[in-house]
Amino acid sequence: MTKHVFVIGLDNFHLRQLEGIRHAGDYVFHGLLPYGMVVHPESYPIDEMIERGTSEIEASGVRPDAVIGHWDFPTTALRVVFRDALGLPGPSLEGILIAEHKYWSRLRQARVIPENIPEFQALDPFDPDAADRVELDFPFWIKPNIGFSSMMVYRVDGPEDLERALAGLRDGIGLFGEPFDRFTCRANLPSDIPTDIDAWHCTLEKPIDGWQCTVEGFVRHGRTTVYGVVDSIRGGGIGSSFSRYEFPSQLPESVQERMFDITRRAVPSMDLDDTPFNIEYFWDEDTDRIWLLEVNTRISKSHSPLFMDVAGASHHEVAIDLALGRRPSFPRWEGPHRVAIKFMLRHFEDAVVTRVPTDDEIGSLEREFPGTRIQVEVEEGMRLSEMRGQEVYSYEVAVIFMGGQSHDELMDRYQALLERLPLEFHDVESG
């Protein structure tokens, strides 16, 4: 029987990923809320989004069998609201909010895996005495309690960095603070959650470092399952900007097993159930210590093509199975490649885009480099500092997915492709 799956913020790229899963012919995929309303809008009018989404479902003429989403907050919470209204299975809103909130999630993690999290504290950036209330020694990271893609995340090495970070947070934190408030009004949060430390606050954490990776998994009926590990490689001046994701991970199996054990303890502590998730970790090779960075209550959309290449299907399959009330059986390792990498091409200075490849040029390069998909994120004439959804220290200008037989092969092919990619900039002074 055909199942109707509604996908929040559906675009053509992810529609292709969905169409590659097992039994895709059994599903009809419906977009729910426009892409531009969900991904990097100027604001998130939650009540309007819920009202519009409800109207779109009613106007579709079909009853949804599942509602899924692969974008960050507020999509992670919106899917719960829509599912609850329809009586569909899924995680609780309270669990999603606890896991998404940087400080609340750390409090819960500190109960069960204290040895795997750094020193941390909450801070109100609007407090006139905020700088005096910092308890951690320099250096540390400061980040909004709700956010993604390293937006408004600052490395603080001294008082001047702190003032810059606090000013940036005061200016931008409302983008997520206001919509998070709308969801907390709908939730019945447990008594141990300090709701006065809301999404207008930020979290400070001591730096953690090492070999970074992401564990992809799901929890269903209280049972936590892990099905893949993706390595995350960073670059840039302070080593904070993602440069590529590599699958499968090259971490020692013993280290991966220890991460799985930590995962099985951490996920239930945040009241998560019946949801996919991914958890970012560091392994410090010198001390052999494992650090948990953060938990995301969704599949990583960035990893979908990597699973397609190596496992033979996107892990959107996991999200759909859970949303339908089924236990996923993923992956099956039926992909055409042994290794897959997502390369994130970045520019580290403000600039104006002076040349981008045409569709024909992209098509020609993809044919010349089989197993390659190129997504250019900028347009000619665009100024990078005006892009939305970017981290503090760099601008992501293109994404390139590649599949092949080895990491070395793909690194060589990527460098060869960059020499041919007609993407040009004119650097300008910021200010």
User: Residue 135 pLDDT more than 90?
Assistant: yes
Backbone angles phi, psi at 40, to 5 degrees: 55, 45
Q: What burial letters (b/e) apply to 331-346, b meaning 16+ CB within 10 Å?
A: beeebebebbbbbbbb
Share of the chain above pLDDT 70, in %: 99
Q: Which one, of 69, 63, 71, lies nearest residue 88 by Cα? A: 63
Give dist(CA 93, CA 420) in Å, integer: 47
Q: The tokens 């960050």 sit on which residue?
A: 72
Find residue 281's DSSP bridge partners.
213, 292
- What's residue 234's pLDDT? 87
User: Residue 238 pLDDT more than 80?
Assistant: no
For the chain, what's the residue count? 431
- Is 76 in a helix, a strand, or coil? helix
- What's residue 77's pLDDT? 98
Find residue 230's DSSP bridge partners.
214
pLDDT band at 125 (very low <50, low <70, confident <90, very high): very high
The predicted model gives 53-73 an average pLDDT of 97
Cβ within 8 Å of residue 153, ≥6 positions away: 141, 142, 143, 144, 147, 240, 391, 392
- What's residue 260's pLDDT? 98
Taking CA atoms, 184 is separated from 107, 148, 178, 392, in Å, by: 18, 19, 10, 28
DSSP string spanning 221-282?
TTEEEEEEEEEEEEESTTS-EEEEEEES--S-HHHHHHHHHHHHHHHHHTT--SEEEEEEEE
pTM over 0.75: yes
Per-residue pLDDT reduced to its tens digit, 174-196: 999 999 999 999 999 999 999 99
- What's residue 324's pLDDT? 97
User: Residue 44 pLDDT more than 80?
Assistant: yes
Share of the chain above pLDDT 90, in %: 91
Strands 140-144, 241-247: parallel, antiparallel or unpaired by DSSP?
unpaired
Average pLDDT, the chain: 95
- What's residue 430's pLDDT? 56
Task: Considering only residues 194 and 242, tell me which one the structure prediction assigns the higher pLDDT.
Answer: 194
Give dist(CA 178, CA 155) in Å, integer: 24
Q: How many CA atoms lie within 13 A of 200 on its CB side?
A: 11
Per-residue pLDDT reduced to its tens digit, 290-314: 999 999 999 999 999 999 999 999 9
Per-residue pLDDT reduced to its tens digit, 308-334: 999 999 999 999 999 999 999 998 889
The predicted model gives 6-28 an average pLDDT of 94
Per-residue pLDDT reduced to its tens digit, 400-415: 999 999 999 999 999 9
- What's residue 393's pLDDT? 80
